[in-house]
Structure 1
């Protein structure tokens, strides 16, 4: 199926695609890593959690198993058909306004590194709009060598190879990233735009949304806990 994607984003392989080039079939097969544990450890027991960009529920389901009450948001109706046990909302993250606040808001999948002008600040504004004043926002950032150590790959159990095949500058500090997902029986690719962020730039965007870093959750600095400023 030919994906209908936004400029700079695309994907190839079997099945349906989302506007940012993600394969629905791919995301139903991707294994989950340590993300649910990291999130659950940073959240109060039984917390109400807003998951922005839930996809096919790869993290949603383990978070539910850990006793969190999850509202799962995605712009893809096809992705949401695979989510079980959570309240689901079909909406664009940037435009979301549920009129309620949550103990925890998550923004994973490196969405904060969006290469599209203005999208990052709108994503973070959504986070602040939906988090309680005494709550927290958990954000997944790119690793320090994400754009520089290329090509690189890792092999996961089940025979899946995830390969960052190319990172190509396209201007104004934005890179086009091409990722390949290779299984013995199927291959998918995804191309998307990503902007590296220094720590200072990241803090500046957080501040513009009314958020501030509370602490770094992982040794590699990829997961960050932010809280409402002031």
Structure 2
């Protein structure tokens, strides 16, 4: 099976054709349902706009940030596109809501994790809400290989190695006879670790929206 099925691939290895084929609102229900009408939203690592475009269609003012031009090219005209890395982002304004999806808070490098959360904090309004997608040990349970469809995409997840709560894995996406494989390393954070990481960036957990999504505020 080929390692890449062609088409644009983002710097982190995410295949653009795959993310265009994944249903737009899958997995984002807790954020979409929780946001107040007319909120300004900063979507960090927005990709092809699966969330950002849905938010704009609901009347939100949305800024989408990604380091991939290939991803940003698929944002709706109503979404303001910013090509930048999350860690270095400084827009000089604050938003009613900041979204950090894709389990970016679980990155295994603690320095990069802190940089992601610092970016959330410096763009979040004092009374705003941060929406963070998080893998905890309880959510994952025991890491296991698994296959399953997401829309038209077949996803095959494989655990390559595990060292305590840090694990190496690969995900293979199959679409229209093509396949892409993306490898990554992540760390499962328990609730205490997560709260410590948030506090270091000046954030505090407000509540869980579901097993994967949490809402946080300043202070």
SS of the residue aligned with 1:61? helix
SS of the residue aligned with 2:46? coil
Contact 2:18 2:175 in 1 (8 A): no
SS of the residue aligned with 2:140? coil
1:4-43 Cα offsets, whole Å, 9 max, x none, are xxxxxxx733122222111122222222344443212221
Aligned residues: 215
Q: 1:37 aligns with which of 26, 29, 44?
A: 29
Which sections of structure 1, spanning at least 5 residues, go unmatched?
A: 1-10
CA RMSD of superposed structures (Å): 1.8
Q: 1:182 aligns with which of 174, 182, 185?
A: 174
Contact 2:100 2:132 in 1 (8 A): yes
1:124 aligns to what?
117
Which sections of structure 2, spanning at least 5 residues, go unmatched?
A: none
Moved more, 171-180 or 183-192: 171-180
When the two structures are superposed, what TM-score results if normalisation uses the length of structure 2? Answer: 0.91
Query: How far off its partner does 1:110 sit?
Result: 0.5
Query: How far off its partner does 1:68 sit?
Result: 1.2
Q: 1:222 aligns with which of 203, 212, 218?
A: 212
Query: How far off its partner does 1:196 sit?
Result: 0.9
After TM superposition, the structure 1 = structure 2 runs for residues 195-206 of structure 1, keeping only pairs within 5 Å, are 195-206=187-198
1:90-147 Cα offsets, whole Å, 9 max, x none, are 0000110100000000000101101224011010000000000000100011253537
* Aligned-partner Cα distance in 1 for 2:35–2:116: 20
Indicate how the Cα distance of structure 1 residues 42 and 117 shifts in structure 2: closer, same or farther if over 3 A, else same: same
